[in-house]
Amino acid sequence: MNVKITLLTAACALALAACGDKSPPPAPAAPASTAPATTAPAETAAPASTTPAETAPASTTASAPAGGAAVVTDCATEIEGNDAMQFNVKSITVPASCSEFKITLKHTGKMPVAAMGHNVVITKLEDMKKVAADGMGAGIENDYVKAGDDRVIAHTKMIGGGETTSVSFDVSKIKGDGPYEFFCSFPGHSAIMKGTIAVE
Ligand code: CO
């Protein structure tokens, strides 16, 4: 295409009078429209990149389903907390084949930890309210988790907007009598910021 146009231009340049009124409008238009379709390394690459772009939103939706299940890969998951006092998942399923499991919490908001702090605490469902209440008394300096609370199976530190934290724990600890729950122990948050965690 470029070659043709160059030749055409050259031809016109050499014969200005002949090309001047006729060839410019129709001629470039025709090669221009056929050339991309046939030449096409760039054109075929474009549809190929369009396809991943269309599947990407689908996988993004799968990894961050508001109120859905956490995506687990290699005995680990990443969940999010935001400035609207929400986790992005309502359940975490830990594969029974995992001996250790890692939860990473990403605070996608902007608010400081003192105003909109989030952590992940894992307890039995029946212990959750009492652990959260005791955590309130422990203060933010203790991540709102009472020191030495043996009802707490695992917990991350308390983080603010833009921060990330994680915790790993022995999966056998949630293989007993459940059900088990994960929640944020920041005062008042556990009413909304909670979900189930189970081994399957
Ligand atoms: Co929180």
CA of 189 to the centre of ligand 1 (A): 5
Residue type, 150: D
Q: Which residues have C-beta within 8 Å of that of residue 151, sequence separation ≥ 6?
A: 123, 124, 127, 130, 131
Q: Which of 79, 94, 87, 83 is nearest to 184 (CA)?
A: 87
* Tens digits of pLDDT across the chain (200 residues): 444 443 333 333 333 444 344 444 444 444 444 334 433 344 433 444 344 434 334 333 344 445 699 999 999 999 999 999 999 999 999 999 999 999 999 999 999 999 999 999 999 999 999 999 999 999 999 999 999 999 999 999 999 999 999 999 999 999 999 999 999 999 999 999 999 999 99
Q: So what's the pLDDT on residue 49?
A: 39
Q: So what's the pLDDT on residue 192?
A: 97
Rg (CA), the chain: 30
CA of 120 to the centre of ligand 1 (A): 8
Q: In angstroms, how far is the first alpha carbon of the chain from the final one?
A: 60
Q: So what's the pLDDT on residue 142?
A: 98
For residues 28 and 1, what is the distance between their CA atoms, to the nearest angstrom? 9
CA of 163 to the centre of ligand 1 (A): 13
Q: So what's the pLDDT on residue 35?
A: 39
How is 103-166 classified by DSSP, letter by letter? EEEEE-S-S-HHHH-B--EEEEGGGHHHHHHHHHHH-GGGTT--TT-TT--EE---B-TT-EEE
Q: So what's the pLDDT on residue 3?
A: 42
Q: So what's the pLDDT on residue 114?
A: 98
Q: So what's the pLDDT on residue 124?
A: 98
CA 37 to mean position of chain CA atoms: 37
Q: Give burial (CB, 10 Å; 0-12/13-18/19+) of 76.
A: middle
What is this structure's pTM? 0.68
CA of 190 to the centre of ligand 1 (A): 7
Q: So what's the pLDDT on residue 66?
A: 54
CA of 66 to the centre of ligand 1 (A): 16
Q: So what's the pLDDT on residue 175?
A: 97
Tokens of residue 153, six digits? 């199976």
